[in-house]
Amino acid sequence: MSLIETHGMTVRYEAVPVLSNVDFAIEKGEIVTVVGPNGSGKSTLIKALLGVLKPTAGTVRQADGLRIGYVPQKLHIDPTLPMTVMRFLSLPHRHTEAERIEMLARVGVTGVGARQMADLSGGQFQRVLLARALLAKPDILILDEPTQGLDQPGIAGFYRLIEDVRAETGVAVLLVSHDLHVVMSASDRVICLNGHICCEGAPNVVSAAPEYRALFGLGTGGTLALYQHAHDHGHDHDHDHVHHHPPALDEAQ
């Protein structure tokens, strides 16, 4: 089976549906990117896939014994909690000192082991988060906006690292991101999310899809491509998404 899959998954907060009827699957070794505007349910999707949120309807299933390496969008470490980088890398599973030092080198932050997590720069912090996730020898890496607060070279470097790791280990990667241009070229598949799956497919297919352009106004039409959408979705949660969306891109094109 797939590493993680959902069928008809709906998640509501209070009574408001944040995600509706999501069918999602990620396979071994795949790089899948989820894009979508703020409030589109990206973080909710990740929480549901991790099992932190229970879906209101539908199912989520992880493969048996699935090992997940998770890199959170933001990790706030309370200033009252002392935490060296080396100590952090052994959470929740303990790893030998040699393994941890080697992994720090692998992600390009040799020598920060004795520092406090709070004293790291944004880029170093993200790489340490990645190192911790990789130490679990995951089947899948789940990265939630992993490059927030990084500058352009930092972002490019980070994604290069992810691609290298995938090439070396064959780990699947599920990425939630805003960095559309950078991310999409590296992805096998892109999912465009806005409360439901608007469209999905290979990066070039998705970037040409009207649903995608309606959300991001990118591509050949530039800003004019905004709202060229055949039928306006009304992408908010004030009404139910009862109308039919073209599920396949062939239809949409």
Partner 1 sequence: MLDDFLIRAALAGIGLSLATGPLGAFVVWRRMAYFGDATAHAAILGVALAVASGLPVFLGTVLVAMGVALAVSGLSWRGQAMDTVLGVLAHGALAFGLVAISLVPGARVDLQALLFGDILTVGRADLAVIWGGSLAVGLLLVWRWQALLTATLNDELAASAGIDPARERLGLTLALALVVAVAIKVVGALLIAALLIIPAAAARRFTTTPEAMALAAIGCGALSSIGGLQASLRFDTPAGPSIIAAAVVIYLISVAYRR
Binding residues for partner 1 (CB under 8 A): 46-47, 50-52, 68-70, 72, 75-78, 80-84, 87, 90-94, 116, 136, 142, 144
Q: Smallest distance, Å, CB 215 to partner 1?
A: 25
CA distances from 199 to 6, 119, 153, 227 (A): 16, 41, 29, 16
Q: What angle do CA 70, 75, 79 make, to 5 degrees?
A: 145
| Sign, Cα dihedral of 81, 87, 91, 94 | negative
Which of residues 4 and 252 has its CB atom nearest to partner 1 in the complex?
4
Provide, rounded to whole angstroms, the least separation between the CB of residue 177 and partner 1.
Answer: 17
Nearer to partner 1, 49 or 206 (CB): 49
Cis ω on the peptide bond leading into residue 92 (within 30° of 0)? yes
Q: Which two tokens mark 165?
A: 């790791």
C-beta of 50 vs 156, nearer to partner 1: 50
Give 9 or 214: the residue with its C-beta nearer to partner 1. 9
Instruction: Produce one character per residue of 155-166: b if its CB has 16 or more CB atoms within 10 Å, e if not.
Output: bebbbebbeebb
Taking the complex as a whole, the smallest distance from the CB of residue 154 to partner 1 amounts, in Å, to 22
Closer residue to partner 1 in complex, CB, 86/180: 86
Q: Nearest distance from residue 81's CB to partner 1, in Å?
A: 5
CA dist 34 → 92, 162, 192 (Å): 27, 16, 6
Min dist. Cβ of residue 217 to partner 1 (A): 31
